[in-house]
Chain A
Amino acid sequence: MFETLSDRLEGIFGRLRGRGRLSDEDVDGALREIRTALLDADVDVRVARSFVDGIRLRLVGQDLSRSLSPGQQVIKAVHEELIGILGGETLRISYASAPPTVVLLAGLQGSGKTTTSAKLARWFRQQGRNPMLVGADLQRPAAVEQLRILGQQAGVPVFSEATDPVTVATAGLNEARRLGRDVLVVDTAGRLAIDQELMDEVRRISDAVSPHFTFLVIDAMTGQDAVATAEAFHETLDLDGVILTKLDGDARGGAALSVKEVVGKPIAFASTGERLADFDQFHPDRMASRILGMGDVMSLIEQAEREFDSDVTQRGAERLMEGRFTLEDFLSQLQQVKKLGSLGGILSLLPGVPKELKQAGTSIDDGQITQVEAIIQSMTGKERADPSLIDGGRRRRIATGSGTSIQEVNQLLRQFKDAQQLIKSPGMLGGMLGGRGGKSAQVLSEQMGDLASLAPGGADAFGELGMGLPGGSPPMRGPGGGGGKGLKGSKKKKGGGRVTPKAGGRGRQP
């Protein structure tokens, strides 16, 4: 389960590389793995089947790429196909000539409609509109109150009354007209797709307010049920789009693919957190990576951008590259990284992480990390800067202070020193593995380059690191320009760094 799809495909294709074409048998094995990956990601069984059949046609007879391994080639094809399905046309929000533009939200219980309503209203406000919210969920205790509070936070007025959902919606519409609001977002109660009575009710709500946009709100962790639900809601309401919620979790989100295939309407928005601001347009490329279990690196990076203290990170990265990384640095970086979630989990998300490290990462538990933290925190500043100061007496003190044993303190100090050596050795990451008899730096660099090309916007970052490998080129340059999308706002192109998979850090031997 923790072995990534790319690892498994590597295993299947073995020696094949740069010669001939992909045969039927070659492809069969790969397709089985892909199907499993999709099912593990909660893609509907029938959708997965038809998807895989489609991919087969694309792959058989394809020339083997010279630069990509067969595994990478297959993943790339699958990735592109997924993006095609998930993306397709984007939803253009157009506004009614006679305001207000009515937006209706529907979905199962607990999918996040109420929070999404407020987020959507806020989003409209940011677009320069004058929205209003209608609380038509009269079923769930305190739902209207929840919406009122959120509406306040969003700066959007909320209308409701103690009648019935259809009447509330109608009255809300009239109120919006009266107040001159130009967008009306209607929150409705969660309902089961098979509850005929409630599906009739939502149909009546829709008939009453004639929405310009009807969105199905669906939880990213939904399993095989997604299709039945989407079909039923689409049949009843004629959806215009889908809003995917709770993407800040680690569910792979295959429901997105299933729903898109079944409903055929765009996934309009993605909700990525509990704050009202955690709401954005949907990124099909990120979703594709996520479904394939390749992690959503861009979201991780965005989250890091939000949560990391930029000064601390910058300092840490610089000192890392300069080979001056101390226990103090390590401690502050560890604390930063923890904000992103479990360390093992993060590692498994990142492409280009050496396999050994990923495997080790899955067995890292919070307790061990806390222990390491405690040990360092029991050291004085001087000790952290220069561990050679730490004699027996100090070790004892540190052990006592952190509730560990002297052996554990010794082990940390010894292993940190090993790590420092590895970092300092020529070619940082290559050195990390070279010393352990693992993959050669060249292969690693190639892999990272290949995979980096699949992480949109990440290409530059990975390319930077790739350039730190044997060849003696300085490990870090300024913001790279070069092929593909740059990082946000990164426009400058310094030095000689073109960072595409074929160039840059690819095995430039001295």
Chain B
Amino acid sequence: MSALWIVLAVIVVLAIVGTSVTLSRRSTSRGRAAGTSPPAVRPKPPPPAPSRPSAPSRPSSGPPAAAETTSAPSEAPIVDTTAPDTTVVDATATVAPSPGPEEAQEQSADVVAPADLRERMGKTRGLFSGYVRALRGRGSVDDQTWDDLEEALLRADVGTATTTALLDDLRQRTHRGDLRGPDAVVAALRDALRASLEGTGDIGLALEEGVTNVWLFVGVNGVGKTTTIGKIARQQTAEGHSVLLAAGDTFRAAAAEQLEIWATRAGVGLVRGAEGSDPSAVVFDAVQRANARGQILVLADTAGRLHTKVNLVEELKKIRRVADRPPGRVTEVLLVLDATTGQNGVTQARQFLDAVGVTGVVLTKLDGTAKGGIVVAIQRELGLPVKLVGIGEGPDDLITFDADTFVDALFD
């Protein structure tokens, strides 16, 4: 690929975009706009207001003890640190994970059998099932059949390209006489979806002996990275692995506090830094500490970031590089994806895959009305498997992905 195109591309962008900028600047004679020099990280927010307890046992999950209206600027200093910039919040053996509001109803010491995905997704039963019923009811395969199937797939966020590919194949087979009747077509579609989702990737989570495993959680804003880490921490601890959390989101207000609550719930420790500090340093410190204590697994949270933001993607690459230095090894890079995401999910997956090498997808919020069909396109186009599925906000609401169950839940 020639450099010529790069040069021309830059020139064209400069010509179109840059010229407009220059013109408008001149005519409004504005002063220099904010952000003229590229910050390596986003602008740092001012120090947070309330004081943060560093004591290990936090009885409540969040809201302050009394009603208060804060308006005064911060008085409390950042908590003391053990390492230069980071704080370690240890969970001692005597701290029982405390119940959050929703947990009060379903308290359990061990990891319970996860809630049934079909049951959770079944709350929105009716999307495919309605189409399928109508289809079968007509008895023969006609144009309406294909229209209905197309609509069902599109409404599940499978996307136009994948839908077209799947249905073209089915149509051909029907024409050839391989598939007779709507039942056969529906069954064939189910099989095709299942096959797409099974792929070849190993959907177990990698834990290697003799290294400090780092599982890096990446994704855009609001998808559920922190909550997922909390759930995984609990699961892995129940399986007997020693887990440490790294609060690698140093940007979002109260992000470390949020993860801290999850750490407490799971009975694991947490390494955090000051807000606005370097996320790579936090992850590095966590790896060092885990290694020193013989802990096999570090779960590293990162700030939500849009894949379109070049400097943030660079930051993420750096976090990965740092985490991958011995004694650490990045054995999983999990892209957390919201099931409500539309076609942009494929773009997200592609960009994060290119940037930091994603090993698997965690599909969250599948207990809602969204079908999460975007993962079909992601698997087909990028070969990325879904490893885990989030089905609620509670600490146990995370199950291993199963293609059969996923597809069945779509159709029933």
A residues near B (Cβ < 8 Å) are: 1, 36, 39-42, 44-45, 108-112, 132, 135, 138-146, 148-153, 157-162, 171, 175, 179, 192-194, 219, 221-226, 228-229, 232, 246, 248-252, 254-255, 274-275, 297, 300-301, 304-311, 313-314, 316-317, 320, 325, 330, 333-347, 350, 352-353, 357, 360-361, 363-366, 368-369, 372, 411-412, 415-416, 418-419, 422-423, 428-429, 432, 458, 460-462, 464-465, 476, 478-479, 487-492
Query: How near does chain A come to B390, taking the closest CB pair, in angstroms?
Result: 10
Chain A residues positioned under 8 Å from B9 (CB to CB): 343-344, 347, 357, 360-361, 364
- Total of A-B residue pairs, C-beta within 8 Å: 391
List the 6 closest pairs (A to B, CB-CB), nearest first. Answer: A223-B342, A110-B222, A42-B342, A489-B28, A161-B67, A149-B253
Instruction: Check A162–B63 contact: CB distance below 8 A.
Output: yes
Given A146-B255, A249-B307, A336-B18, 10 other A-B residues pairs in contact with their CB atoms under 8 A: A142-B254, A160-B64, A192-B368, A194-B369, A221-B344, A225-B339, A316-B14, A350-B13, A361-B5, A479-B26
Question: From A346, which residue of chain B is reached at the shortest CB distance?
Answer: B13
Instruction: Check A108–B20 contact: CB distance below 8 A.
Output: no
Instruction: Check B368–A225 contact: CB distance below 8 A.
Output: yes
> Which one, A306, A462, A464, contacts B33 given CB within 8 A?
A306
Instruction: Check A157–B71 contact: CB distance below 8 A.
Output: yes
A-B contact pairs, 18 of them (CB 8 A): A135-B63, A139-B393, A141-B262, A142-B255, A143-B258, A146-B253, A146-B254, A148-B49, A148-B254, A152-B70, A160-B63, A221-B342, A224-B156, A249-B220, A249-B307, A306-B33, A308-B18, A492-B27
A251 vs B306: C-alpha distance when bound (angstroms):
10
Query: How near does chain A come to B363, taking the closest CB pair, in angstroms?
Result: 13
Instruction: Check A419–B17 contact: CB distance below 8 A.
Output: no
Chain A residues positioned under 8 Å from B307 (CB to CB): 249-250
Q: A42-B343, A110-B338, A275-B43 are in contact. Are A429 and B12 (CB under 8 A)?
A: yes
B residues near A (Cβ < 8 Å) are: 1-28, 30, 32-38, 42-43, 45-46, 48-50, 60-71, 73-74, 100-102, 123-124, 151, 154-157, 159-161, 220-224, 251-255, 257-258, 260-262, 306-311, 338-345, 347, 354, 365, 367-371, 374, 393
A188 vs B294: C-alpha distance when bound (angstroms):
41
Q: A224-B157, A229-B369 are in contact. Are A151 and B70 (CB under 8 A)?
A: yes
A353 vs B223: C-alpha distance when bound (angstroms):
34
Q: A225-B368, A274-B42, A313-B21 are in contact. Are A141 and B100 (CB under 8 A)?
A: yes
Query: How near does chain B come to A203, taking the closest CB pair, in angstroms?
Result: 18
Q: A146-B258, A221-B341, A310-B32 are in contact. Are A109 and B27 (CB under 8 A)?
A: no
Query: How near does chain B come to A161, taking the closest CB pair, in angstroms?
Result: 4
Question: From A352, which residue of chain B is reached at the shortest CB distance?
Answer: B16
Instruction: Check A357–B101 contact: CB distance below 8 A.
Output: no
Instruction: Check A153–B45 contact: CB distance below 8 A.
Output: yes
Query: How near does chain B come to A54, taking the closest CB pair, in angstroms?
Result: 18
Instruction: Check A339–B16 contact: CB distance below 8 A.
Output: no
Instruction: Check A228–B25 contact: CB distance below 8 A.
Output: no
Chain B residues positioned under 8 Å from A221 (CB to CB): 220, 341-342, 344-345
Question: From B45, which residue of chain A is reached at the shortest CB distance?
Answer: A153
Chain B residues positioned under 8 Å from A109 (CB to CB): 222, 224, 365, 393
> Which one, A192, A416, A428, contacts B7 given CB within 8 A?
A416
Instruction: Check A145–B369 contact: CB distance below 8 A.
Output: no
Chain B residues positioned under 8 Å from A151 (CB to CB): 70
A372 vs B32: C-alpha distance when bound (angstroms):
29
Chain A residues positioned under 8 Å from B340 (CB to CB): 108, 219, 222-223, 225-226, 229
Instruction: Check A363–B1 contact: CB distance below 8 A.
Output: yes
Question: From A145, which residue of chain B is reached at the shortest CB distance?
Answer: B254
Question: From B42, which residue of chain A is reached at the shortest CB distance?
Answer: A274
Question: From A231, which residue of chain B is reached at the shortest CB distance?
Answer: B369
Instruction: Check A429–B2 contact: CB distance below 8 A.
Output: no
Instruction: Check B4–A490 contact: CB distance below 8 A.
Output: no
A161 vs B64: C-alpha distance when bound (angstroms):
6
Instruction: Check A347–B12 contact: CB distance below 8 A.
Output: yes
Instruction: Check B36–A309 contact: CB distance below 8 A.
Output: yes
Chain B residues positioned under 8 Å from A360 (CB to CB): 1, 5, 8-9
Q: By DSSP majority rule, is chain B's interface helix, strand, loop, or mixed?
A: loop
> Which one, B14, B62, B70, B224, contacts A110 given CB within 8 A?
B224
A96 vs B154: C-alpha distance when bound (angstroms):
43
Chain B residues positioned under 8 Å from A179 (CB to CB): 69
Instruction: Check A141–B69 contact: CB distance below 8 A.
Output: no
Q: A110-B338, A158-B69 are in contact. Are A146 and B18 (CB under 8 A)?
A: no
Question: From B309, which residue of chain A is reached at the shortest CB distance?
Answer: A341
> Which one, B49, B262, B344, contacts A42 given CB within 8 A?
B344
Instruction: Check B25–A305 contact: CB distance below 8 A.
Output: yes
A490 vs B19: C-alpha distance when bound (angstroms):
13
Instruction: Check A465–B27 contact: CB distance below 8 A.
Output: no
Chain B residues positioned under 8 Å from A488 (CB to CB): 24, 28
Instruction: Check A219–B222 contact: CB distance below 8 A.
Output: yes
A128 vs B6: C-alpha distance when bound (angstroms):
47
Chain A residues positioned under 8 Å from B310 (CB to CB): 338-342, 366
Instruction: Check B22–A40 contact: CB distance below 8 A.
Output: no
Chain B residues positioned under 8 Å from A171 (CB to CB): 67
**Which of B26, B48, B63, B251 is most buried by chain A, counting CB atoms within 10 A of its CB?**
B63
Instruction: Check A337–B14 contact: CB distance below 8 A.
Output: yes
**Which of B2, B21, B32, B393 is most buried by chain A, counting CB atoms within 10 A of its CB?**
B21
A335 vs B310: C-alpha distance when bound (angstroms):
11
Chain A residues positioned under 8 Å from B63 (CB to CB): 135, 138, 144, 160-162
Instruction: Check A223–B71 contact: CB distance below 8 A.
Output: no
> Which one, B3, B64, B124, B306, contacts A246 given CB within 8 A?
B306
A145 vs B258: C-alpha distance when bound (angstroms):
9
A151 vs B4: C-alpha distance when bound (angstroms):
49
Chain A residues positioned under 8 Å from B160 (CB to CB): 36, 39-40
Query: How near does chain B come to A134, taking the closest CB pair, in angstroms?
Result: 10
Instruction: Check A304–B21 contact: CB distance below 8 A.
Output: yes
Q: A330-B7, A364-B9 are in contact. Are A192 and B22 (CB under 8 A)?
A: no
A356 vs B38: C-alpha distance when bound (angstroms):
31
Chain B residues positioned under 8 Å from A248 (CB to CB): 306, 308-309
Chain B residues positioned under 8 Å from A415 (CB to CB): 2-4, 7
> Which one, A232, A411, A422, contacts B2 given CB within 8 A?
A411
Instruction: Check A419–B11 contact: CB distance below 8 A.
Output: yes
Query: How near does chain A come to B57, taking the closest CB pair, in angstroms?
Result: 16
Instruction: Check B11–A325 contact: CB distance below 8 A.
Output: yes
A221 vs B344: C-alpha distance when bound (angstroms):
6
